[in-house]
Amino acid sequence: MADTRRRILEVALDLFGERGYAGTSIADITARLGISKAALYYHFGAKDEILEALVAAPLTRYRELTRTAAERSTPDLLAEILDTTTEMYAVSRLLGDDPSVRRAMRATARPQSQALNEELTAALGGGQITPRARAAYAAIKNGTLAHIEATGGPPSPAARAELIAAAQAALSA
C-alpha cells in the first residue's frame, strides 16, 4: 500500500514537472504507472489531493526544523536548512515554476510556507527578524536552489561549506 502511494507521488511529481499540473490528468498518471483509476482513487480522491501530499512532505520537514531551531547552533541550523532545501528541490521547482500549482496552493501551502520561512529567519536572527537574518536565510535557501539548478545535483561537500559560510557571513558582516 505505502509503496503504491509513494509511486503515485513520484510519477505525479515527474508528470507535473514535465507537463504542468493543469496539463496532467489522472489518466496520465495511471497510464504511466500501469494501474487502474480505481487503484489510484483508493489512495487519493482527486488530483489536488496528490498535489497536497507532494507539498506536505517538505512543509512537515521545515515545520520540524522550526521546532528544533532554538536548540541548534547557527552552523547546524544553516546546514539543516540546506539539507531540507536540497531534499525538497523538485517540489520547490513545481511550486515556483507552475502557475496552476501556485493558484491551487495559494490558500493552503503558501501561507504555511511563508510562516515557516519567517520562523527560520527569526531563529537565525536570535529571535528577531533582521535584515541580516533575512540575508542569511536567502543565502542558504536560494543559494542551495540556485546551485542545484546550475549543476543538476546537490551541493558537494565543498559547495555545501561555501553556502553555509556565505550565510554565516551575512549574519556577521
List average pLDDT for each run of 10 residues in the chain, which is 173 residues long.
88 89 93 95 93 86 92 94 88 72 71 89 94 96 94 95 96 83
CA distance 119 to 62: 10
Cell of 15: 508528470
Per-residue model confidence (pLDDT) at position 57: 83
**Domain residue extents for the chain:** 1-45, 54-172
CA distance 49 to 7: 15
- Cα 30 → chain centroid: 25
Residue 83 CA to residue 78 CA, distance in Å, equals 9
Distant-in-sequence, close-in-space partners of 102: CB < 8 Å, separation ≥ 6: 95, 96, 110
User: What superfamily in CATH does domain 1-45 come from?
Assistant: Homeodomain-like (1.10.10.60)
Give the SS3 label for residue 110.
helix
Q: What is residue 91's predicted lDDT score, i.e. its pLDDT? A: 78
What's residue 69's pLDDT?
93
Q: What are phi and psi of 114, to 5 degrees?
A: -60, -40
Predicted local distance difference test score (pLDDT) of residue 6: 92
Specify whether the CB–CB gap between 24 and 12 falls below 8 A.
Answer: yes
Position 20 scores a pLDDT of 84
pTM, rounded to two decimals: 0.78
pLDDT reported for residue 173: 66
And the C-alpha cell for 10?
513520484
How far apart are the two ends of the chain, measured CA to CA in Å? 51
Name, in order, each residue with C-beta under 8 angstroms of 88's C-beta and a sequence gap of 6 or more: 57, 58, 61, 62
Decide: 30 and 37 in contact? Cβ < 8 Å. Answer: yes
